Structure 1
Amino acid sequence: MFNKSVIVCAVALLMSANVWAEPDYLKSPVIPEPLRDGESIDEPDINIIQKQDRTIQEYRVNGKLYMIKVIPTIGRPYFLMDTDGDGSLETTQHELDSGLLVPNWILLEW
């Protein structure tokens, strides 16, 4: 019914359609407006809580808790993050998700 070369050309044409599609990462990033005189960048407020076996650093921006860094006396520091931006740390990502959120360790630094 169809010639093999016609089928091969049609398949090649369909597979090459994505070549001309513009990927999102090629679009120019949104550049924020420069700061005006007297404006400052919101830097996090860091509350340090000293315990016997660890030091806890709470990071807040505009009063919202977004990260906790736990520095144990023995072992590497780890981080607990606010994943949904509501200002409170959860132990699960969603009510329907059964997976626990585990602490995050830094694996590589440079």
Structure 2
Amino acid sequence: MRLLRHLVVLALVLPWLAHAADLPKNLEPLPEAPPPPGYENTPEPEVTITKKGEDTIEEYRMNGELYMMKVTPAHGVPYYLTKDDEQSDWARSNGPTPPISIPKWVLFRF
């Protein structure tokens, strides 16, 4: 049993020692990677807060297009109205799970 234990430890340590012997002595860390292109120019959504009666409505716009609204009623739980694309209707979500959003990519715009 002891021999088996020593063989297992030796089998685990030998590859590590062989790898450590091959490393050069003058290693330096790599420089910090630059951010991906276009990352620093990512637009923030424009948020407009309006009051309708006692309800508060926050409108979220990206490039001037309204894509989400957060409605906070005077009494009750806030809920969100989201729009997947220009042709779809508003979908309400208020639960712990986000609504199912089908991926739709714009490949060409004429």
TM-score, scaled relative to structure 1? 0.48
Bigger Rg, structure 1 or 2 = 2
Structure number with greater CO (CA < 8 Å, separation at least 6) is 1
